[in-house]
A and B are shown apart, each in its own frame.
Chain A
């Protein structure tokens, strides 16, 4: 159980274009999804927290107009990298947590397999 699917697993795009990454919870309903970014040989950096039906909460230093997050349903969140530039090239990982906020407060995050974005 608790499977999170992320798509695409890799994408190459040209500078100036936008890229959408999807994150789906396959066998549970996720009220909250998290988007992380990871540079090579480094840890995961939290970008934003996405709650179903409301605006995402972005971490300090993360441009919300650059990284658009939509969490339209309990099983789907999307991250759109707008006007991508080579410095946006990275590994983007989503994670999700179950529906009950009380029991889910202390629950492990379930991660997708990440999306490798390369901007040329």
Chain B
């Protein structure tokens, strides 16, 4: 299977501060990207997505930035709250038309400090 079998890096952020989680993707042909949040013992939960024809997209308290030149994706969380503590994964769609193979990045554990 495709994935990166590395242990998760951790980002510790003070409650109320902004968080920035980064992700490097592998395929320059990928045209769709998603950020997921995974809490312990649960499946991933959709946060926000972005297509390759955009470089920024905003949601509620979250912003995703896409830099296709360096194949980099970031998730910004404004005013981080304790409930944001989780593991965050980026996923890229590597499929050709008619297929949708989603590959997940390594993941980052976000710890919100009170």
Measured CB to CB, the residues of A under 8 A from B are: 4, 6, 32, 34, 36-37, 39, 41-47, 49, 59-62, 93, 95, 97, 101, 104-114, 116
Surface stretch bound by A, among B55-63, B65-73, B103-111:
B103-111
Q: Show 21 residue pairs from A and B whose CB-CB distance is below 8 angstroms, ordered by the A residue.
A: A6-B43, A42-B6, A42-B107, A43-B4, A43-B5, A43-B104, A43-B106, A45-B104, A46-B1, A46-B103, A61-B1, A97-B100, A104-B100, A105-B95, A106-B31, A106-B32, A106-B51, A106-B93, A109-B44, A114-B41, A114-B43
Measured CB to CB, the residues of B under 8 A from A are: 1-8, 31-32, 34, 36, 41-46, 49, 51, 89, 91, 93, 95, 97-107
Q: Is the interface of B mostly helix, strand, loop or mixed?
A: loop
CA distance A6 to B105 in the complex (A): 23
A-B contact count, CB below 8 Å? 89
CA distance A60 to B2 in the complex (A): 8
